[in-house]
A and B are shown apart, each in its own frame.
Chain A
Amino acid sequence: MKGWLVSSVVVNHEVGLHARPSVKLTKLAKGFYCNIEIAGTLTGPWFNAKSIVKVMAVKAGQGTILHLRAKGGDADAALLALSTFVSQDDDGDTSDAAGG
């Protein structure tokens, strides 16, 4: 775990980290330069949080603990943003008119 900042959060989304929240988490992760990985257990396997296919495959359900780790220049900010997102119980408006 050398160099990684780690954060563990309870998934509060009503349906867990399913399709729509997975897309949002991936988009959020892509906004940071650091390496970001997620896992269902601290011992791994760890998956690239910027890969939508990997994030969806984790299938973290509501109430489960999701582990996040980040390494690199903006790792602090990335972990904060992602943990906040995962611990929300609502992914809010999914429109993205301002995104991109």
Chain B
Amino acid sequence: MKENVGIVIVSHSPDVAKGTADMVRKMVGTAIPLAFCGGNPEGGLGTCIESIIAAINAAWSDRGVAVLVDLGGAETNSEMAVEMLPAGRRSKVVVCNAPIVEGAIMAATESWGGASLQDVKRTAEELSPR
């Protein structure tokens, strides 16, 4: 079976992360690697680098992993999580500059079709405000 780019969803809210992942599964399907995380370890709003690393590893694909984030800290923590990955994996993970829900659906659809990591990222980012 062809490998597809993995999708990771990182939100400040566990509910938003889970809901976004639900939308991806229901709209695009379960054939692509998908993982999500949200909230800080205390259960409040926030993001946690360890959880992001775990999600990236859970959705791992040799084709690469595209990370969709919501606000500020989700982006900076995701970038730090990527920095902390083993060197061999680091270059295969990108954080997309795209709205989290729409970007996740677009990225997942593109990944489903067998697109490269660069194409998945570009498709998600086509939606970004200019």
Interface residues of B in 81-130 (CB under 8 A from A): 105-106, 109-110, 112-114, 123, 126-127
Whether A23 contacts B127 in the complex (CB less than 8 A), given A50-B113, A53-B106, comes out as no
Report if A52-B123 is in contact (Cβ < 8 Å); known contacts: A30-B113, A100-B1, A100-B4: yes
The CA of A52 and the CA of B112, in the complex, are separated in Å by 11
Partner of A94 from the list B27, B105, B109, B113 (CB cut-off 8 Å) is: B27
A59 at the interface (CB under 8 A from B): no
Distance in angstroms from B59 CB to nearest chain A CB is 15
Contact (Cβ within 8 A) B30 A97: yes
Q: Which chain B residue shows the least CB distance to A97?
A: B30
Asked if B54 is an interface residue, CB under 8 A from chain A, the answer is no
Q: B126's closest neighbor in chain A, by CB?
A: A53
Q: What is the size category of the interface that chain A forms with chain B?
A: 10 to 19
CB–CB A27/B30 < 8 A: no
Q: Which residues of A contact B126 (CB under 8 A)?
A: 53
Cβ of B26 and Cβ of A51 under 8 Å apart? no
B residues neighboring A (CB under 8 Å): 1-2, 4, 26-32, 105-106, 109-110, 112-114, 123, 126-127
**Given A96-B28, A97-B30, A100-B4, 7 other A-B contacts at CB below 8 A?**
A19-B105, A23-B28, A26-B109, A52-B105, A96-B29, A100-B31, A100-B32
Q: Which residues of A contact B (CB under 8 A)?
A: 19-20, 23, 26-27, 30, 50-53, 94-97, 99-100
